Structure 1
């Protein structure tokens, strides 16, 4: 069994130790400086950059989001409709007279008059 050390072209020496089974060589052990296949620092920086871009995108999306034109629509008993977070429609001049009970209850029509 022979051990070969190679160092003329490299900064750190590498030792190659052959593995034999009988007279036949079946492999080799290479002893030297460990060099990982994937750099952990690069992976961590890529994950950090991805998280920063995702956070910035979500923040911009929330900042540019518009409120809906009307709020929540709920149906009450008897078919009454309630609109939350909305303003009252403007009263138009020249409308036909409303019944007294509609004025008393401050009821609004659901159908737009033309």
Structure 2
């Protein structure tokens, strides 16, 4: 440590005095622990509510010489958890629907003797539902090709 002394200058000042902290005039927020509430019943019980920012967050329960703290669920946290679970469920359902594979319209196609294609054991694909004829089919007097079974 280096000290610079000036013999011709004014006398050094005494170190500043520390002031004692001033007591708070009024608390910023109400007392976080509420009054003791006596509960009716055979075992003597008391309830002391606990608040934070004007909202109840829990309570101390005094019964049988024991003190227990019971927390209350925060509605904002419950709502956030429900929204998160719903979002995960929707994403999972969307992935399941998108990755679903459609079954083939016909069964297995095999090559028979002589090079012909065999579709044995397959069922016919379902017919499309009847739709109104398009304008061009009416102009050309065209009809749908129907296969007789």
Compute the TM-score of the two structures, normalised by the length of structure 2: 0.32
Which structure shows the higher helix fraction?
Answer: 1
Structure with greater contact order relative to length (CA < 8 Å, sep ≥ 6): 1
